[in-house]
């Protein structure tokens, strides 16, 4: 059996000092620290990807709104239940009134009142080629709306997602937007903040040890 040299004893002592905490307790090994750092980086990457996807969706909605007149509407009442329950968000596209058919679910703007989104029950010609007079009814209602609507354009419901209207409303709250902005900024800063040279030196030493 070979006798330990002074150099090997000094290296062992230095290693023991690094492995012991301030009270002499054993601290996690380099592999454990690297594993924790790996989990932290993975969680950061996931959150960054979620933020990036959300940003892409927002930009896509803006592009669609400007190019093909696609927007979102929220359903506060259940007049279209069970097809579109209250609390749903629908994706709608503005089209000419001449393009709609009986059975379509459309949104009609009303002067001095909120828009109404119901199912078309009848279509009649209007005063011009582009104009139509339509009657509508909510799926949950027993009869047609009290009066017909004279329209040149409407917004056709393409599809709807139930239960997310409250999330959309919350996103418009300035306090929620401020908190999300601060959280996203902190996440990006933390993810790209340069690590100290001592930390990089210790990580390199552990990998070559």
Q: How far apart are CA 150 and CA 125, in angstroms?
A: 9
Q: Are residues 99 and 120 in the same domain?
A: yes
Q: Are residues 38 and 90 in the same domain?
A: no
Q: Quick check: 154 pLDDT over 90? A: yes
> Between 84 and 169, whose confidence is greater?
84
Q: 43 falls in which pLDDT band (50, 70, 90)?
A: confident
CB neighbours of residue 166 within 10 Å? 11
Q: Quick check: 82 pLDDT over 50? A: yes
Q: Is 74 inside a domain boundary?
A: yes
Q: Are residues 17 and 81 in the same domain?
A: no
DSSP annotation of 72: E
Q: Is 95 inside a domain boundary?
A: yes
> Between 19 and 104, whose confidence is greater?
104
Q: How far apart are CA 168 and CA 163, in angstroms?
A: 10
Output the pLDDT for position 104: 96
Output the pLDDT for position 30: 61
Q: 3 falls in which pLDDT band (50, 70, 90)?
A: low
Q: How far apart are CA 2 and CA 143, in angstroms?
A: 99
Domains in the chain: how many in total?
A: 2
Q: How far apart are CA 92 and CA 117, in angstroms?
A: 10
Q: Are residues 143 and 76 in the same domain?
A: yes
Q: What are the CA-CA distances from residue 176 to residues 57, 166, 168, 179 (Å)? A: 18, 13, 11, 5
Q: Are residues 79 and 159 in the same domain?
A: yes
Q: Is 1 inside a domain boundary?
A: no
pTM: 0.58
Q: Is 3 inside a domain boundary?
A: no
Given strand 89-96, what is the order of strands in its sheet? 70-74, 89-96, 153-161, 105-110, 113-125, 132-137, 149-151
Q: Are residues 47 and 79 in the same domain?
A: no
Output the pLDDT for position 203: 47
Q: Are residues 49 and 115 in the same domain?
A: no
Output the pLDDT for position 113: 87
Q: Could you read off the pLDDT of 105-126 as tens digits, one per residue?
A: 999 998 888 899 999 999 999 9
Q: Are residues 81 and 159 in the same domain?
A: yes
Q: How far apart are CA 71 and CA 158, in angstroms?
A: 10
Q: Could you read off the pLDDT of 129-148 as tens digits, one per residue?
A: 999 999 999 999 999 999 99
CATH number, residue 131: 2.10.109.10
Q: 167 falls in which pLDDT band (50, 70, 90)?
A: confident
Cis peptide bond upstream of 32, omega within 30:
no
Q: Are residues 126 and 179 in the same domain?
A: no
Tell me the β-bridge partners of 153. 96
Residues 6+ positions from 91 with CB-CB distance below 8 Å: 70, 71, 72, 157, 158, 159, 160
Residue numbers of the domain that contains 108: 68-168
Q: Is 58 inside a domain boundary?
A: yes
Q: Is 5 inside a domain boundary?
A: no
Q: Are residues 46 and 22 in the same domain?
A: yes
Q: Quick check: 27 pLDDT over 50? A: no
Q: Is 26 inside a domain boundary?
A: yes
Output the pLDDT for position 158: 93
Q: How far apart are CA 177 and CA 170, in angstroms?
A: 8
Output the pLDDT for position 72: 86
In terms of average pLDDT, the best of 25-39, 135-149, 156-170, 184-198 is 135-149
Q: Is 77 inside a domain boundary?
A: yes
* Cβ atoms of 104 and 94 closer than 8 Å: no
Output the pLDDT for position 79: 94
What is the number of alpha carbons within 13 Å of residue 85 lying toward its C-beta? 7
Q: Are residues 93 and 75 in the same domain?
A: yes
Q: Are residues 17 and 98 in the same domain?
A: no
């Amino acid at each position: 059996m070979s006798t330990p040299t002074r150099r090997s004893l000094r290296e062992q002592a230095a290693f023991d000092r690094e492995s012991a905490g301030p009270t002499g307790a054993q601290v996690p090994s380099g592999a454990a620290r690297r594993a924790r750092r790996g989990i932290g980086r993975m969680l950061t990457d996931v959150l960054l990807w979620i933020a990036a996807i959300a940003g892409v969706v927002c930009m896509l909605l803006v592009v669609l709104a400007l190019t093909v007149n696609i927007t979102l509407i929220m359903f506060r009442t259940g007049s279209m239940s069970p097809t579109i329950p209250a609390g749903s968000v629908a994706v709608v596209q503005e089209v000419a009134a001449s393009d709609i058919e009986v059975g379509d679910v459309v949104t009609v703007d009303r002067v001095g009142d909120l828009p109404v989104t119901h199912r078309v029950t009848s279509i009649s010609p209007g005063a011009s080629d582009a104009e139509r007079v339509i009657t509508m009814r909510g799926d949950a209602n027993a009869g047609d709306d009290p009066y017909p609507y004279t329209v040149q354009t409407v917004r056709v419901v393409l599809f709807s997602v139930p239960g997310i209207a409250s999330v959309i409303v919350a996103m418009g709250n300035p306090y929620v937007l401020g908190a999300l902005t601060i959280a996203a900024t902190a996440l990006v800063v933390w993810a790209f903040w340069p690590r100290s040279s001592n930390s990089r030196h210790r990580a390199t030493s552990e990998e070559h040890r």
